[in-house]
Structure 1
Amino acid sequence: MENNLIHLTIDGVAVEAVPGSTILQAASAAGINIPTLCYLKHLTPDASCRMCVVEVEGRRGLPASCTEEVREGMAVQTHTEKTAQARRFILDLLLSNHCTDCFTCPQNGACRLQDYCWEYGVEHTSYQGKRVDAPKDVSSPFFNYDPNLCIMCRKCERTCESLQCRETISIQGRGFDTKMTIPFGRRWKDSSCEGCGNCVAACPTGALTAKGAKKFRPWEVKRVRTTCPHCAVGCQYDLLVKENRIVGVDAAPGSPTNEGLLCVKGRFGSYQFVHSGDRLRHPLIKENGAFRRASWDEALDLVASRMKGIQEQYGRDSVGGFSCSRATNEDNYAFQKLMRAGLGTNNVDNCARVCHSASVHGLATTLGSGAMTNPMADITEDVDVILLVGSNPTEAHPVMGARIRRAVRRGTKLIVVDPRKIDLTEGCALHLQIKPGTNVAFANGMLNVILSEGLEDRDFIQNRTEGFEALREIVAEYTPERVGEICHIDPDGLRAAARMYAAARKAPIIYCLGVTEHSTGTEGVMALSNLAMAVGKLGRSGCGVNPLRGQNNVQGACDMGALPYQYPGYQKVTDPAVREKFEKAWGLPLSPNDGLTSTEMLALSARGERIHGLFIFGEDPMVSDPDTAHVRRALENLDFLVVDELFMTETAQLADVVLPGVSYAEKEGTFTNTERRQMRVRKAVSLEGEMRQDYDIFAEVETRLGHPCRYESAAAIYDEIASLTPSFGGLSHARLDAGEDLAWPCPAKDHPGTPILHVGKFARGLGWFYPARYRPSAELPDGDYPLMMVTGRMLYHYNTRAMTGRAEGICQVVNESYIEISSRDAAALGVAHGDRVKVSSRRGELETTARVGDKVGDGEVFMTFHFPDGNVNKVTNAVTDDIAHIPEYKVCAVRVSKLG
């Protein structure tokens, strides 16, 4: 067969199809529509609805096109009188047990059953049937379930079971009493449902309908394709806009990042905040301790004059800026340019400093590029083993977490290395519940086993790396027994993990903040890099070292040069040739000196040294940074603080000037997701008020500082980025809008992008085995503070809750802080589940609610950092890593006592 394709005709049209594809798939690819009610693109066909029957020449009966494979020379008719009669019969039967009061149905006008009944002329049923008036379940905070509108297509069940891997929904009853329900007669809110709403999106009728959104008909809304503003998975979806208001979200079916799926935050917590009544809408200036409304000219003149005055008094590097990892690449580029060209300082940073700066520094040191090496699909499909270290993706990156759950179901062996029993420990091949802060010892112990048993890839080590012998000497000391003592794990478990990982054909390392947010975080990252290099699992499919970035554009903020040491594209500010290029483009001399990190700037300001003015764009360090008292002291010590924000955050309350910015739904631009993929952000709404595009704000300030600056559009900024950044040289809004799927590096306009890094050669030439040695965490438990605190995220909220805290459904699920504590520790303290407790450290104290169980080990406790009623950063430690200056959020010593 020509090109190994199968040739057939469908409705008289010549069609080519891939062998093994079905008639339905071939027709869909050719733009021929065949009706379906139960079909799900990513799952094995169910063929239960029979709406997709077709006529095949020479074939008796009417086969279901979703299961019938194409054959050479096949002739198919999709819309004949016989298929029409069959479909009418099916619709007639469905209506015999279906409520047909369409005017009261929330899906009226958006119902697949209604559409087909209209198309095939079925106005009522000819069968008596049996109407069962089953009770509705409206207990879920996110959607309602009306079994009387269910047609038993099972799409909800199959979506939940096979795509989300949750098995929340099942079939109950027989005959006319059959219905989809929650097992054991429970209500939806009492089930294992995560609230992702993927079942709602799959439902072809009004049986499952979302709550909270303004009612609309499909033809009343404008669809705007954009990128989710939460985690860095970069899910694609359509914002549904009616009368300049976002009324809902639909996942993009063809997106490679999310494959038509969303998590609860993306579907139900990504747009309500846009229209929140407490949005900042006008510039504000603080006078006599109170804010007053100001004009833009007044506010921007004040920002420029005060910053310039501070520099005249204290020196050029007495000011600094924190850029925003939730904002677009274009905004971040404009902000770092303001700091460098307008204010002449490299004191610019972003929140990667407190989450993944260890990845940026560590992987750049050992491999030459501080980014995820492989795409998400590549490391969750057709892989033998996944080594998941210090990452809880089902809560922090839920769509990625669902990918991993599906991989485990397909047979992938999952090794979880985490101090907590996270969701993914259920069904994993091995859980190493290591002591927090011992990642370097763990990785060295893995290497010890690999080298002692001859499991290393000697050719890879010899041909593509350097520094191996020095590391070999170090890891010889990390025997499984010694590492078992350090990490509090079984030495045989360590041996099993090392053998499993080394022997696998494809085995990626996936990690997150459980590795980076330590006083040895950068060494932890480099130790994992050592591990991957030793077994040759870099530069090829299904392998690599893959940090899951936290915020939606934290990768992009770093790429854009919102870092104190590097211009856009990680070009060093101390390199004369690089600096000359930017000086020529921007038209003025630039500072030759490395700048200060955000953690260094806060530490200096807290001591009243060097830093006297700060411009904070879209970050809230009063909530997000460790040791809140230290942060408050730093911000209050400043001579001048300006904040560009959406809401009056705790940080904004301390500002001298507050500038109202715009949300992702009100701007054009791009995000860079965790796999370096470029994702378009598109404007959906315009809100009342005097808010300005953030890049316009920065250009106006830069102009007032004496360096004229103006941007025509976000696309024009992206073109400027491409002109100065080799890894972005071939990127543009036009290519992205044309549907090209591009990940940097993409050096030329005809370059297809680079999904996998380090193929054939590392970015630095030879990969370097960094000689990492284990060092204990900076603060360990003692008699006064006997428990080790670990921090992290939870599924339903995102960072400081600026977005999710304004979503009613999400807040119904959980809206207050808690602390996880082991049953043994709780009993010793006289604490029961649900008791109010006080948590104290050397830096502060807070009150919260105890959750007693087995998720954490004895001697350890866990808290999230989302909730203002018990902000864990009142007690966390601001000590930082020596290399990346990242704080040690993951380990601090605390005391817990029962209240009352």
Structure 2
Amino acid sequence: MVNIVINGKQYEVHEDITVLQACKENGIDIPTLCYDERLEPDSSCRLCVVEVEGKRNLITSCSLKVEDGMNIETHSKKVIKARKDILDLLFSNHPNDCLTCEKSGNCKLQNYCYDYNVKAGSYKGEKRNLPIDDSNHFYYHDPNKCILCGKCVRVCSDLQGTSAIGLNERGFRTHVGTPSKNGLEDSDCVSCGNCVSACPVGALMPKSRESFREWETKSTLTTCPYCGVGCQLELITKGNQVVDSKPYKGPSNNGLLCVKGKFGYPFINHPDRLKTPLIKKNGKFEEASWEEALNLIVSKIKETKEKYGANALGGFTSARCTNEENYLFQKLFRAAIGTNNIDHCARLCHASTVSGLATTLGSGAMTNSINEVLDSDVIFIIGSNTTENHPVIATKMKQAKKKGAKIIVADPRKIELADKADIFLQIKPGTNIAVLNGMMNYIIENELYDKDYIEERTENFEEVKESLIEYTPEKVAEICGVNKDDIIKAARMYAESDKAGIYYAMGITQHITGTNSVMAISNLALMCGNVGKENAGVNPLRGQNNVQGACDMGGLPSDLPGYQKVFKEEIAEKFEKAWGVSLPREVGMTMSEILDSVKMLYIMGENPMLSDPDINHVKHSLERIDFLVVQDIFLTETAELADVVLPAASFAEKDGTFTNTERRVQRVRKVIESIGDSKADWQILMEIMNKLGYPQKYRHPSEIMEEIASVTPQYGGITYDRIETEGIQWPCLDKDHPGTKYLYKDAIARGKGLFFPVYHTGSAETTDKEYPYILTTGRVLYQYHTRTMTGRVEKLNEKVPESYIEINEVTANKLGVKDSEKVKVTSRRGSIDIKVKVTDIVEDNVMFIPFHFAEGAANYLTNTKADSAAKIPELKVAAVNVEKIQRSC
């Protein structure tokens, strides 16, 4: 600590901070335009100058470190004059259109000119007259309003890691622009909008923003409803309308958002929102009252249970609903109905993670925290297109690369991070185990493994060691279609690093060998001592906003909340005592089994008509079911087949919590009233349970969380009061527990890490003369899941409006097809017509289709063959044929 004097008053502050930080900590306001606490000080605007005793000139406080005995004046006459001169210069070259500028009321230049009584620019001369760049779909750039603070450039380069914009030309002609000077749409810009959020004036403004003045609005902190990163953001509302979204400096996103978090909010107030219950009569939906709809559902539950038994009913809970709602959904089925037939979309994405890591480590969750990637030595990304699926995590990977981290990427597609990788292994789809085993073979042969760690903290190493003998780099290179030297380099790079983290997603899990692939990752991490270590670990990246929470809350047929097994007598008895009922002990059916077996199905916030493999089979199954209830915010493809549709409130219309991919439980806050007659899912579920004669009287979701904490050890210390300002990572065992940054620091959950031998086997389908190409599927940045939400965001649809198939140029030439031509793609399950996108991202004879779209839906083609342990379908490999569609004359 050092002692300094600010404006005649003495303060004790930390010695390693700047004068600006010292002033901010002590409530002393200093104006800034270029400063951002996430960036190294740039001192370009000079508005933060202060006077320091003994210094001849004024000094920028953002770059000046405090020293013991320093005497500082922040608002002396000399300082105020300097700031007025700077503002005068800026305003002299600025359009005087404050009355019509949409930034008015939230413009720092306007506010500071008011504070310092700068009413008009006194310097006369040439003004900028540059063209406005409105090529980007989401925002426009008006260089004439730019004050050249450089924040947008540095945020794009240093935080986002895209470097799409820079300062062009010199002197008076200096302006922010793209390197090609062809406009934003022609640049590397990914439309994250972080430059827009950082801009202190009206030079960068959203196109989709509703007309409003800042003082007319209200700002509410909440959690993003898209991917599993759990970005914190502020929704800006005017009346009952969400009109803007701004990033908030949360623990997982550090004030960054992706394009969906920043610009993807218009679905909330979209006119297509379901506003009243619907009952299908004579094949057509008719509006109904809540009383009529709920009474019909309850009568059908009773009738089905009485006629066929409780196991004739099933339910799909939701990765998009809150923890509290997922908890109530499984409680409805287990306690009020009497069945464990509960599943959700984790069955299609990370069921193999839960199964695999629970076996080897004792818990199927991300071992480390998102921010730990920043200080990793090596980042190994396998089966994850992180920049498109988890964009904000990808920004941290890019930041880590700038700090000196090495990156290894293994993927069938040449994803964006492959360009930044030190080693890129473009493996054939379905060969993950082979490449991982090949790396471990080399590590063992060259004794690069952590002997002490293995001895002290693991078991069964010798069996795995024996199983890896045949996986030489030469043999693995042949299986995977990569260079053996690259496998060796990757193995050595990973093993020789002190802190190496593995990051994976559905490129690992969506295979018939998904569970074994997860265990292979665990083997590699344990072998090199990277479990229970900061900045390392095994890190499955969750795809949806609350898929982690839905699993945590018992949205699985074998697990009660907290992964407590339904068949363990002491567990069942604990929940019976808490819930006051008798509970079934037998494991329920999985998602595909439920579709094929039950008489009545209740789907909350899921859309299997697009998300599940073999859509023709899904449609047949849903039409076979006697009674189908769908609860959602829009009339989805699945809802169209329902007998009753219940209108749910969106995340913006209710309170609750989401648990992000790093196990962080965070608040979701109500920002507007429910649209139409829709209701929060927890309220709907509570009413159904009450009507079934199982009374539930929650007044607020915080009371549900109290109940969750009482029966779920990992959530034992979670309360709304504790997570009001910042979330807590489970396990949080009691109200004095701080939460857990990374798992297994002192001990692995199962006691010792288990090495488990796994072997490469082929995919369920192989190519042949009839189906000669391999199809793989995935996501794209500008759409989300089944487009229930992004499909109602005009600008996102403009960016990626329809489905497409990526085909290598060599393959396209063989087929005689060109870019944008239509082809017919056929598998053993169905066929679709789709546009071609010729690219070098995929290799010859490998093709890729995003699964988001109803027209040209990839899941008409995908395989239902499943992993034997986790029952997850092999969505990542299907054999297909492709034919050019001949135009008729």
Q: TM-score band, normalised by the shorter chain?
A: over 0.9
Partners of 1:688 and 1:571 in 2: CA distance:
37
2:404 is the counterpart of 1:411: yes
Give TM-score scaled by structure 1 length. 0.97
Matches within 5 A, 1:30-41: 30-41=26-37
Superposed displacement of residue 816, structure 1: 0.6
Q: 1:67 aligns with which of 42, 57, 63?
A: 63
Partners of 1:56 and 1:223 in 2: CA distance:
38
Aligned AA (1:439): N
2:49 is the counterpart of 1:53: yes
Match of 1:591, SS? coil
Q: Which residue of 2 aligns with 1:158?
A: 154
Q: 2:829 aligns with which of 834, 837, 843?
A: 843
Q: Which residue of 2 aligns with 1:599?
A: 592
Q: Deviations over 1:336-359 (max 9, x none)?
A: 000101110000011101001111
Task: Decide whether the 8 Å contact of 1:321 with 1:614 is kept in 2.
Answer: yes
Q: Which residue of 2 aligns with 1:716?
A: 703
2:873 is the counterpart of 1:893: no
2:663 is the counterpart of 1:676: yes
Q: Deviations over 1:379-406 (max 9, x none)?
A: x212111011100110001111111111
Q: Which residue of 1 aligns with 2:387?
A: 394
2:663 is the counterpart of 1:667: no
2:517 is the counterpart of 1:524: yes
Matches within 5 A, 1:43-442: 43-253=39-249, 255-269=250-264, 271-378=265-372, 380-442=373-435
Q: Deviations over 1:236-289 (max 9, x none)?
A: 011001111111011113x111111110000001x2111111111111111111
Match of 2:723, SS? helix
2:473 is the counterpart of 1:477: no
Partners of 2:12 and 2:601 in 1: CA distance:
61
Partners of 2:154 and 2:455 in 1: CA distance:
49
Match of 2:299, SS? helix
Q: Which residue of 1 aligns with 2:820?
A: 834
Task: Decide whether the 8 Å contact of 2:629 with 2:645 is kept in 1.
Answer: yes
Partners of 1:217 and 1:13 in 2: CA distance:
38
Task: Decide whether the 8 Å contact of 1:341 with 1:702 is kept in 2.
Answer: no
Q: Deviations over 1:316-371 (max 9, x none)?
A: 21111000100000000000000101110000011101001111111111000100
Q: Which residue of 2 aligns with 1:819?
A: 805
2:696 is the counterpart of 1:701: no
Match of 1:247, SS? strand
Q: Deviations over 1:137-176 (max 9, x none)?
A: 1221111111111111111111111111212112223333
2:788 is the counterpart of 1:802: yes
Q: Which residue of 2 aligns with 1:468?
A: 461
Q: Deviations over 1:651-695 (max 9, x none)?
A: 111111111111000000000000000110000001342212211
2:564 is the counterpart of 1:568: no
Partners of 1:244 and 1:194 in 2: CA distance:
30
Partners of 1:185 and 1:381 in 2: CA distance:
32
Superposed displacement of residue 703, structure 1: 2.2
2:684 is the counterpart of 1:691: no
Q: Which residue of 2 aligns with 1:534?
A: 527
Aligned AA (1:205): V
Aligned AA (1:782): D
Task: Decide whether the 8 Å contact of 2:102 with 2:213 is kept in 1.
Answer: no
Partners of 1:29 and 1:845 in 2: CA distance:
62
Partners of 2:214 and 2:10 in 1: CA distance:
33
Superposed displacement of residue 97, structure 1: 1.7
Q: Deviations over 1:810-868 (max 9, x none)?
A: 11111111111111111100011121111111111111111112100111001101122
Task: Decide whether the 8 Å contact of 2:566 with 2:586 is kept in 1.
Answer: yes
Q: Which residue of 1 aligns with 2:479?
A: 486
With 163-172 and 448-457 compared, the bigger mean Cα shift is at 163-172
Task: Decide whether the 8 Å contact of 1:700 with 1:710 is kept in 2.
Answer: no
Partners of 1:848 and 1:580 in 2: CA distance:
53
Task: Decide whether the 8 Å contact of 2:104 with 2:214 is kept in 1.
Answer: no
Q: Deviations over 1:722-773 (max 9, x none)?
A: 0111111111111111x35411110110100011101121101111111111
Q: Deviations over 1:162-207 (max 9, x none)?
A: 1112121122233332211122320222221111111111111111
% identical aligned pairs: 51
Aligned AA (1:582): F
Task: Decide whether the 8 Å contact of 1:346 with 1:594 is kept in 2.
Answer: yes
Aligned AA (1:299): A
Q: Which residue of 2 aligns with 1:749?
A: 735
Aligned AA (2:632): E
Partners of 1:709 and 1:89 in 2: CA distance:
65
Task: Decide whether the 8 Å contact of 2:774 with 2:877 is kept in 1.
Answer: yes
Partners of 2:684 and 2:356 in 1: CA distance:
34
Give TM-score scaled by structure 2 length. 0.98
2:760 is the counterpart of 1:788: no
Partners of 2:70 and 2:607 in 1: CA distance:
63
Q: Which residue of 1 aligns with 2:544?
A: 551
Task: Decide whether the 8 Å contact of 1:626 with 1:875 is kept in 2.
Answer: yes
Match of 1:837, SS? strand
Aligned AA (1:876): T
With 466-475 and 180-189 compared, the bigger mean Cα shift is at 180-189
Aligned AA (1:642): V
Match of 2:364, SS? coil
Q: Deviations over 1:765-817 (max 9, x none)?
A: 11111111111100111111111001011111101111111111111111111
Match of 2:578, SS? helix
Aligned AA (2:802): E
Task: Decide whether the 8 Å contact of 2:220 with 2:669 is kept in 1.
Answer: yes
Partners of 1:853 and 1:689 in 2: CA distance:
45
Aligned AA (1:859): N
Partners of 1:886 and 1:169 in 2: CA distance:
42
Task: Decide whether the 8 Å contact of 2:851 with 2:857 is kept in 1.
Answer: yes
Aligned AA (1:796): Y
Superposed displacement of residue 129, structure 1: 2.4
Partners of 1:263 and 1:836 in 2: CA distance:
31
Partners of 1:328 and 1:83 in 2: CA distance:
51
Which runs of no fewer than 5 residues in structure 2 stay unpaired?
A: none
Aligned AA (1:212): S
Superposed displacement of residue 704, structure 1: 2.3
Q: Which residue of 1 aligns with 2:452?
A: 459
Q: 1:13 to 1:581 in 2, by over 3 A?
A: farther
Aligned AA (2:133): D
CA RMSD in angstroms, aligned pairs only: 1.1
Q: Which residue of 2 aligns with 1:623?
A: 610
Superposed displacement of residue 896, structure 1: 1.1
Partners of 1:174 and 1:381 in 2: CA distance:
34
Partners of 2:9 and 2:830 in 1: CA distance:
73
Task: Decide whether the 8 Å contact of 2:610 with 2:786 is kept in 1.
Answer: yes
Task: Decide whether the 8 Å contact of 1:251 with 1:261 is kept in 2.
Answer: yes
Q: 1:544 to 1:106 in 2, by over 3 A?
A: same
Q: Which residue of 2 aligns with 1:873?
A: 859
With 843-852 and 98-107 compared, the bigger mean Cα shift is at 98-107
Task: Decide whether the 8 Å contact of 1:307 with 1:640 is kept in 2.
Answer: no
Task: Decide whether the 8 Å contact of 1:642 with 1:658 is kept in 2.
Answer: yes
Task: Decide whether the 8 Å contact of 1:96 with 1:130 is kept in 2.
Answer: no
Q: Which residue of 2 aligns with 1:644?
A: 631
Task: Decide whether the 8 Å contact of 2:610 with 2:853 is kept in 1.
Answer: no
Aligned AA (1:664): F
How many residue pairs get aligned? The number is 886
Superposed displacement of residue 375, structure 1: 0.2
